[in-house]
Amino acid sequence: MKRHNRPARRGHALLEFALCLPVVLSLLLGVLDYGWYFFQQGMLLDAAKDGCRVGVSVGATEDPALRAEAVALEILEDSGLGRPDALAVDGGVTTLSGIRVLRLTLDMPFTPLVGLVPAPTHLKVTRTMVLERQGSGYYAPGV
């Protein structure tokens, strides 16, 4: 019976694992960071949308911008993302092409979980909705 002279392959698997591990870990941590970014961006979008939705339908004596800001902050605080010291909220009523609209802007600094991949430093979202009662209420023309 003939014996084959094969070189020893005992350390190859360990060497391949050691070479692939940094690449796999950096991909995994990058996915975590970008997932965290997209989650926070989605929460800001939802808070701005819900704040505007409530703000455009308030009563005639209530300020739509203040109501929208309060609702957006409440939603973000309930989600665990609201950092009142770092979150900038700006709401106001303007006129676009003769139609009165409520515009709400949320601006929040972004802190990545790991920081291995490049990411933006701020998350900023702006939502605009048409006021339901155009000629009456808190922001009636001429008031």
Alpha helices by DSSP H, 80-115: none
Return the structure tokens found at 43.
């929460």
Helical (H) or strand (E) element with 115: none
Task: Provide the Cα torsion 67, 70, 72, 76; round to 10°.
Answer: -170
pTM: 0.76
58: how many CB neighbours lie within 10 A of its CB? 21
Mean pLDDT score, 93-100:
83
- Domain extents for the chain? 12-130
pLDDT digits (tens, 9 = 90+) for 37-85: 999 999 999 999 999 999 988 877 888 889 999 999 999 888 887 666 6
In sequence order, which residues have a C-beta less than 8 Å from that of residue 99 and are 6 or more positions away?
Answer: 130, 134
